[in-house]
Chains A and B, each alone.
Chain A
Amino acid sequence: MTDFTRRALVKGGTAFGAASALTGPALLDWAKAWAQAAPWKPEKGAKLSMLRWKYFVQAEDDAFVKMIAAFTKATGVNVDISRESYEDVQPKASVAANTGTGPDLFWGLYSLPHLFPQKCMDVTDVADYLGKKYGGWVQSAQQYGKAGNKWICIPICYSGNMLNYRVAASTKAGFSKFPDTTAAFLEYAKAMKAQGTPGGFPLGHASGDGNGWVHWALWSHGGNVVDKSDKVVINSPETVKALEYAKELTAAMIPGVGSWNDASNNKAFLGNEISWTDNGISIYVAAGRDATKKDIAEDMNHSFWPVGPVGKPTELHLMYPVLGMTYTKFPQATKALMAFMLEAENFNPWIESAQGYLTHCLNTYDANPVWTADPKRLPYREAAKRSLTAGGLGSVGEKAATAIADFVVLDMFANYCLGREDTKGAIAVAERQLKRIYR
């Protein structure tokens, strides 16, 4: 079996997944039994509505719809699902929280529940139930899930943001193995640019890929937005070092990254314009699906972020929590649905259908075949474990969310890397803004 192609592996993985997953009547029987035994009994005549982020892969949404249908059959609770682009869930949820009316559940981005923690249902019992049953929550999920000692949301999954690179070009530049330190990575970027196969990270207002890399650059050099007690400590020699590193790195990127948003690097990578960037697994999946781009899929791989002078991983991945609003008339049904989504019988086939886009936050799911079916997906399995939280050392609450959403750190890096300000000026602008956010 030495001539294993990636296709064969994927096919094999799917077959295995299908065999292990419950389908059709078996799923319904299981769901009915689950509804009987579950600690949360939906209210009579309960009806739920949920607003979720719009899928990246159709298969994921299909699996999700199937799961919801089983829930409805087993419990009699109708669930109305609407979908919004992941950036638009937040404003809608915010308005709903403000006005006290709207969908019962919101499934959005990492910072969402912490924008209005007092409007989120206490779901500590659900989190404890799931944590006990499935090997415990990863560290970052616990930080994201809790406000104080109370769980205010259920972390469903992460979407990992890892380095994507072309193998042949990297080998040609003298890097048979992807660099694993920041210093080696800078050399890599320079060598890649020198041979005409540059890469790039976005410096425009790209909420995912842009925030991902600037926070990595800041943290890997020991810089921090705030300390443990939420005091602003951005003005430090470490931040200066991070900025200088990023500027050198930017000089070794393809021109034009200043305007890149979250989609730009995907386009450029798939158009053979760049040979490395940071992204979810979407480039790989898109390349594998398109017959004309198969060579890209064959020739690319993924890697963890290089480790900087601080000596440990400093990555930022997006977490997708689901939260229930306190105004819901059906809190028991809401909790039942949350728990139902993360039960192995549902979660395994669902996360598998996502083809590596999504990473679990419960340790037991490390064993899901999605990660072993295709070794190129493997780095994404660790996303939840390697991720730091949005607030860095500080709290994960509203303030951290605001700082990220307002692109304070991203603008600081862009200001310096694109030559608008010197380090002092760039840091001063960010510090002033952060002090107001963290007052």
Chain B
Amino acid sequence: MTDAVLKSRLDKRPIQEPTAWDRLKVNRNWLGVWFMVPAAAFLILFLAYPLGLGVWLSFTDAKIGRTGEFVGLENYEWLMDDSTFLLSVFNTILYTTVASVIKFAVGLYLALLLNERLPFKAILRAVVLIPFIVPTVLSAIAFWWIFDPQFSIISWSLKKAGLISTNIDFLGDIWNARWSVIFANIWRGVPFVAITLLAGLQTVSPSLYEAATIDGATTWQRFRYITYPLLTPIIAVVMTFSVLFTFTDFQLIWVMTRGGPVNATHLMATLSYQRAIIAGSLGEGAAISTAMIPFLLAAIMVSWFGLQRRKWQQGGDND
């Protein structure tokens, strides 16, 4: 009896093969994809698309207000031979290298210092952060005054002290200008490095230092064989960011020198802005920006493979 009822019911309802869509809806492996969709859409819309558009623009002769025609590598061929562009590449590499190295050295020193037992430790740590808190444009304007050819406080003090007779031409002389903007960048970038490294230092277990001290390790040995190796992952991250920020710096230069004197402080970012937005040659400006990508990738690779691929970080021995 029951069999008959069941049978008749089954007969009435035709057996449906699940469609591909039905499977996708419930498939466990596909579930992950569904969860990823919002994030992926966000990344594609706001990161991949503008980047792709920038690269595409660099292959066109687009001007502001006019979509360009595809011109292949013409922009790059032109730039390869453009002395201003080559100068800006040199400036950028010099700026990034010098500023990053010094920022790292000073930042690490400050971090080690702040990690010691100091009076007013909390206040000191807050004070160190100040250059980082001040909006970049404001600090750039302050430096612009400090380095002013006529009203520089440095020139004024040295003159009053009788050490020099004429003002120092900070931003008008080619090399002076380069060192001046590098100095401003270092001043601004040190707190980021120092505070992040300090955070890293505080994760190092004190018992390691105690054990080392009992074994008779010197201060240098404790730094070299405990602090430094345990700090490398943080160093890798901090320096990657620091290099990226420095390489793409714009505001400091734009406010202080506009790339002058005679383009001696033009970075690739400022030159790209000048050519693309101010002068209207979008294609050429985009080519300059795109030319930054290989440098940035190289910087990331160096820190990634050079500093972060330690076996112990992946659970192995570090021998």
Q: A94-B65, A256-B149 are in contact. List 7 more A-B contacts (CB 8 A).
A: A203-B172, A203-B262, A204-B172, A273-B150, A406-B281, A411-B263, A414-B261
Beta-carbon contact of A204 and B257 below 8 Å: yes
Q: B63 an interface residue at 8 Å Cβ cutoff?
A: yes
The distance in angstroms between the C-alpha atoms of A246 and B104, with both chains bound, is: 44
- Nearest A residue to B255 via CB reads A261
Give chain B nearest CB distance to A327 CB in angstroms.
Answer: 12
Q: A394 an interface residue at 8 Å Cβ cutoff?
A: no
For B191, the chain A residues whose CB sits under 8 A away are none
Beta-carbon contact of A418 and B65 below 8 Å: no
The distance in angstroms between the C-alpha atoms of A268 and B150, with both chains bound, is: 7
Question: Which of these binds chain B: A13-21, A304-312, A397-405?
Answer: A397-405
Known: A264-B149, A402-B280. A98 touches B262 (CB 8 A): no
Q: What are 6 A-B contacts defined by CB distance under 8 Å?
A: A97-B65, A254-B149, A255-B149, A259-B170, A268-B150, A398-B280
Give chain B nearest CB distance to A424 CB in angstroms.
Answer: 13
Beta-carbon contact of B277 and A256 below 8 Å: no
Residues 46-71 of B at the A interface (beta carbon under 8 Å): 63-66
- Nearest B residue to A415 via CB reads B262
Please tell me which one of the listed residues B83, B150, B258 contacts residue A271 in the complex, with CB atoms under 8 A apart. B150
Residues of A within 8 A of B (CB): 90-91, 94-95, 97-98, 115-116, 118-119, 203-205, 254-261, 264, 267-268, 271, 273-274, 398, 401-402, 405-407, 411, 414-415, 418, 420, 429, 432-433, 436
The distance in angstroms between the C-alpha atoms of A157 and B119, with both chains bound, is: 63
Known: A94-B280, A115-B64, A406-B275. A256 touches B169 (CB 8 A): yes
Beta-carbon contact of A259 and B149 below 8 Å: yes
Q: B151 an interface residue at 8 Å Cβ cutoff?
A: yes
Beta-carbon contact of B66 and A116 below 8 Å: yes
Known: A258-B172, A259-B177, A401-B280. A420 touches B65 (CB 8 A): no
Known: A97-B64, A398-B280. A255 touches B167 (CB 8 A): yes
Q: How many residues of B are counted as interface, with CB atoms below 8 angstroms from the partner's CB atoms? A: 37
For A414, the chain B residues whose CB sits under 8 A away are 260-262
Please tell me which one of the listed residues A90, A398, A420 contacts residue B174 in the complex, with CB atoms under 8 A apart. A420
Q: B259 an interface residue at 8 Å Cβ cutoff?
A: yes
Beta-carbon contact of B177 and A271 below 8 Å: no
Beta-carbon contact of A405 and B261 below 8 Å: no
Q: B173 an interface residue at 8 Å Cβ cutoff?
A: yes
For A271, the chain B residues whose CB sits under 8 A away are 150-151
For A261, the chain B residues whose CB sits under 8 A away are 258
Q: B21 an interface residue at 8 Å Cβ cutoff?
A: no
1/0 per residue B239-266: CB within 8 Å of A? 0000000000000000001111111000
Chain A contact residues: helix, strand, loop or mixed: helix
The distance in angstroms between the C-alpha atoms of A429 and B257, with both chains bound, is: 21
Please tell me which one of the listed residues A119, A255, A429 contacts residue B166 in the complex, with CB atoms under 8 A apart. A255
Give chain B nearest CB distance to A393 CB in angstroms.
Answer: 21
Residues 213-236 of B at the A interface (beta carbon under 8 Å): none
- Nearest A residue to B67 via CB reads A98
Beta-carbon contact of B169 and A259 below 8 Å: yes
Known: A98-B65, A259-B177, A429-B83. A418 touches B262 (CB 8 A): yes
For A256, the chain B residues whose CB sits under 8 A away are 149-150, 167, 169, 171-172
Beta-carbon contact of A205 and B83 below 8 Å: no
Residues 135-193 of B at the A interface (beta carbon under 8 Å): 147-151, 166-167, 169-174, 177
